[in-house]
Structure 1
Amino acid sequence: MESYRCLTLREDPALKDAAAQWFHEKWGVPKEAYLECMEEYLGEQTENGWYLCLDGEKIIAGLGVIENDFHDRKDLSPNVCAVYTEEAYRGQGIAGHLLNMVVDDMKAKGISPLYLVTDHTGFYERYGWEYLCMVQGDGEPDMTRMYIHR
Structure 2
Amino acid sequence: MFEIQKLRENSGLLNRAARWFHDKWGIDEAAYRESMEDCLKGASPVPQWYAALENGAIIGGLGVIENDFHNRKDLAPNVCAVYTEEAYRGKGIAGALLETVCRDMASLGVNTLYLLTDHNSFYERYGWEFFCMAQGDGEESPARLYRKITE
Normalising by structure 2, we get a TM-score of 0.96
When the two chains are superposed, the root-mean-square deviation of aligned CA atoms in Å is 0.7
Shift of 1:45: 2.4
Residue type matched to 2:53 in 1?
Answer: L
Report Cα offsets for 1:52-109 as digits up to 9, x if no partner: 1001110000000000001000000000000000000000000000000000000111
User: Which residue is 1:23 aligned to?
Assistant: 21
1:130 aligns with 2:129: yes
1:55 aligns with 2:54: yes
Query: Secondary structure of 2:138's partner?
Result: coil
Unaligned runs of 5+ in 1: none
Once residues 47 and 41 of structure 1 are traced to their aligned partners in structure 2, the CA distance between those partners, rounded to angstroms, is: 8
1:118 aligns with 2:117: yes
Residue type matched to 1:120 in 2?
Answer: H
Could you tell me the percent identity over the aligned residues?
57
Shift of 1:129: 0.2
Once residues 8 and 119 of structure 1 are traced to their aligned partners in structure 2, the CA distance between those partners, rounded to angstroms, is: 26
- Following superposition, which runs of at least 4 residues in structure 1 exceed 4 angstroms of deviation? none
User: Which residue is 1:36 aligned to?
Assistant: 34
Residue type matched to 1:87 in 2?
Answer: E
Once residues 65 and 99 of structure 1 are traced to their aligned partners in structure 2, the CA distance between those partners, rounded to angstroms, is: 11
Unaligned runs of 5+ in 2: none
Residue type matched to 1:77 in 2?
Answer: A
Once residues 57 and 141 of structure 1 are traced to their aligned partners in structure 2, the CA distance between those partners, rounded to angstroms, is: 38
Residue type matched to 1:21 in 2?
Answer: R
Query: Secondary structure of 2:37's partner?
Result: helix
Residue type matched to 1:14 in 2?
Answer: G
Once residues 57 and 139 of structure 1 are traced to their aligned partners in structure 2, the CA distance between those partners, rounded to angstroms, is: 35
Q: Is the 8 A contact 2:51 2:61 kept in 1?
A: yes
Normalising by structure 1, we get a TM-score of 0.96
Query: Secondary structure of 1:73's partner?
Result: coil
